Amino acid sequence: MSEDVHKVRAFEHPGEGRKRAKSTPKGRQVDPAAAHEVEALLGNRPRQRDLLIEYLHLIQDTYHQISAAHLAALADEMKLSFAEVFETATFYAHFDIVKEGEPNVPPLTIRVCDSLTCAMLGGERLLQELQSKAGVGVRVVRAPCVGRCDTAPAAEVGHNFVDHATVSKVLAAAKSGDTHTHVPDYVGYDAYIADGGYKLLSRLRSGALPKEDLLKSLDDASLRGLGGAGFPTGRKWRSVLGEPGPRLMAVNGDEGEPGTFKDRYYLETDPHRFLEGMLIGAHVVEATDVYIYLRDEYPASRQILETEIAKLPPGGPTIHMRRGAGAYICGEESSLLESLEGKRGLPRHKPPYPFQVGLFGLPTLINNIETLWWVRDIVEKGADWWKGHGRNDRHGLRSYSVSGRVKNPGMKLAPAGVTVRELIDEFCGGMADGHTFHAYLPGGASGGILPADMDDIPLDFGTLEKYGCFIGSAAVIILSQADSVREAALNLMKFFEDESCGQCTPCRAGTEKAALLMQRPVWNQELLGQLSQAMRDASICGLGQAASNPLTSVIKYFPEEFVPKEAAE
């Protein structure tokens, strides 16, 4: 063989003629100890893809963090790629991912709510003081709304919530080791049965009550989705039933809108009324399985449901409890479906709609907790009973989550169409001492902000849109002369910036840019207006489309707050 040919062969086959290097495994290797721990945690549970988030919770609950080794072991155990597990785990705020070489998370975490009502009532100061005084072995972090706006400021020590939190109360809970969930008293299964519970469901299942009669009751009462969208409930059930089976049902219990806590109230007081409504809905649409998606910030509600579901008589659909993991976007129905499938909560493009192609690609009925809670009362008492409530030409009842500068905040069951002035004076005992009504949010973080002199607008679906606002989930936050509406809008925009899923540029970049512009001493109204319009027109889902509502409300109704006092002087 000539020398030139030998050189060519050596180029084409570089390993030829040399000792072959010892092969090494490719990709991330699984640590045997981590693999044993993950296998023991999962036990005999099925290794289904949609259970990924549940298993991440298992690791987080056990070790107070999730190491890279545990992620690799979980991926191997579930026959998933490391990338799939990593991208899902890092999407959700409640999973503390510790990468290789990073220090472990301290054994105790204290979370301090920084959303609007808590911020108004001293949450930022509480956070700073706790960070300086908590000591070794304790991590203090800020958290978005935890659904306890009526007892603001709120803090969470482990899984124990401290209402009306002070530094001393929080540190006392941490020192005592009181980090477990406290479950309030509620109407249990036996008490609910004694009060006539599940008779309506039995009549429906036996055929004594035809499906059509029940649907007609919902139609006649004009019951609408009370999670915020307000879609007619009866029409939604009919739409799902009109699709070819099999069909599924998903319950949206991801009540993450700042200012909202009504669903938690109903779950922690009378959970079976919701469960019966849920089972009625599942029967009507012939759903084989029901998935209850409950936000992770509601551990007491979760314990109650797990306890009471176990007491239900056999028969009916299979019920699955699933935990959220700290992602506001999962309150959007298609994001919720993605999360139920064990993925990142990224909104889907529509159409197709969930009633056509929903969970696992099947037609899916999605309802909010409160919507289902009212089904029994409406059918048993009649549509006329429901429509007999209301004010200002509106009909029905509304569960208003009221917080802020009122004397008696809380969940207020009031006639639909009540005005904010009536809500404050008749249901909340008036304004808090020393405070004068200045402004209000009629529908939570994304529902806009209105001045006190617009206090005669009925609070209901369809009454606020012409003012650039909406009622949404009926979360009403009251501001006084002690509060800056400008700072309130900035707080809300920072919330949306943090909670944007990042999938679409108008929302991801728009909320970030808006928050930066809103921190300037003088607002560039023209630029902020253009940015708001782009977010409304081009965002995939309601988060980006509605994120600018508080901003545009301030520009329209509070021009005096464009410039801070110190800048004006």
Nearest to 223 by CA among 375, 413, 367, 364: 375
Do 336 and 250 touch, CB atoms closer than 8 A? yes
Look at residue 455 in the predicted model and tell me its pLDDT: 97
Contacts by residues 347-350 (CB-CB < 8 Å, ≥ 24 positions apart): 347/501, 347/503, 347/540, 347/541, 349/540
Beta bridge partners of 400: 412
Establish if 258 belongs to a structural domain. Answer: yes
Establish if 414 belongs to a structural domain. Answer: yes
Look at residue 77 in the predicted model and tell me its pLDDT: 96
Do 401 and 376 sit in the same domain of this protein? no
> Given 52, 75, 98, which residue is the final one in a domain?
98
- Alpha-carbon distance of 518 to 495, in angstroms, equals 13
Nearest to 550 by CA among 112, 115, 113, 151: 115
Do 196 and 298 sit in the same domain of this protein? yes
Do 147 and 222 sit in the same domain of this protein? no
CATH code of the domain covering residue 551? 1.20.1440.230
52-94 pLDDT, tens per residue? Answer: 999 999 999 999 999 999 999 999 999 999 999 999 999 999 9
Residue type, 305: L
How many CB atoms are closer than 10 A to CB 556?
14
Establish if 159 belongs to a structural domain. Answer: yes
Do 215 and 271 sit in the same domain of this protein? yes
CATH code of the domain covering residue 165? 3.40.30.10
Return the residue matching tokens 């489309």. Answer: 545
How far, in Å, are 26, 148, 240, 312, 334 from residue 316 at the CA level? 48, 34, 18, 10, 25
| Residue 113 in tokens | 């709510």
Provide the sign of the torsion angle of the four alpha carbons 319, 324, 330, 332, taken in this order.
positive
Do 66 and 80 sit in the same domain of this protein? yes
Q: Is 80 helix (H, G, I), strand (E, B) or coil?
A: coil
Do 371 and 407 sit in the same domain of this protein? no
Do 346 and 459 sit in the same domain of this protein? no
Pairing mode, if any, of strands 247-253 and 364-368?
Answer: parallel
Do 237 and 218 touch, CB atoms closer than 8 A? yes
Establish if 184 belongs to a structural domain. Answer: no
> Given 381, 416, 440, which residue is the final one in a domain?
381
CATH code of the domain covering residue 87? 1.10.10
Do 462 and 491 sit in the same domain of this protein? no
Do 363 and 342 sit in the same domain of this protein? yes
**478: part of which helix (H) or strand (E)?**
strand 475-480
Identify the burial level of 112 via C-beta atoms within 10 angstroms of its C-beta, where 0-12 means exposed, 13-18 middle and 19 or more buried: buried
Pairing mode, if any, of strands 108-113 and 138-143?
Answer: parallel
Look at residue 29 in the predicted model and tell me its pLDDT: 86
Q: List the domain range (segments joined by +) for residue 422.
A: 397-483
Do 289 and 329 sit in the same domain of this protein? yes
How many CB atoms are closer than 10 A to CB 16?
10
Longest CA pairwise span in the chain (Å): 103
Establish if 387 belongs to a structural domain. Answer: no
Count of structural domains within the chain:
5
Do 219 and 325 sit in the same domain of this protein? yes
Q: Is 156 helix (H, G, I), strand (E, B) or coil?
A: strand
The upper half-sphere exposure of residue 301, i.e. CA atoms within 13 Å in the direction of its Cβ, equals: 31
**480: part of which helix (H) or strand (E)?**
strand 475-480
331-383 pLDDT, tens per residue? Answer: 999 999 999 999 999 999 999 999 999 999 999 999 999 999 999 999 999 99
Dihedral of CA atoms 234, 238, 241, 244 in degrees, nearest 10, equals -150
Residue type, 316: G
Establish if 20 belongs to a structural domain. Answer: no
Establish if 61 belongs to a structural domain. Answer: yes
Low-confidence stretches of the chain (pLDDT beneath 50)? 1-17, 564-569
- Alpha-carbon distance of 528 to 548, in angstroms, equals 9
Establish if 10 belongs to a structural domain. Answer: no
- Alpha-carbon distance of 444 to 545, in angstroms, equals 15
Do 503 and 538 touch, CB atoms closer than 8 A? no
Look at residue 228 in the predicted model and tell me its pLDDT: 87
Do 83 and 40 sit in the same domain of this protein? yes
CATH code of the domain covering residue 410? 3.10.20.600
Look at residue 542 in the predicted model and tell me its pLDDT: 93
> Given 69, 98, 127, which residue is the final one in a domain?
98
Look at residue 229 in the predicted model and tell me its pLDDT: 86
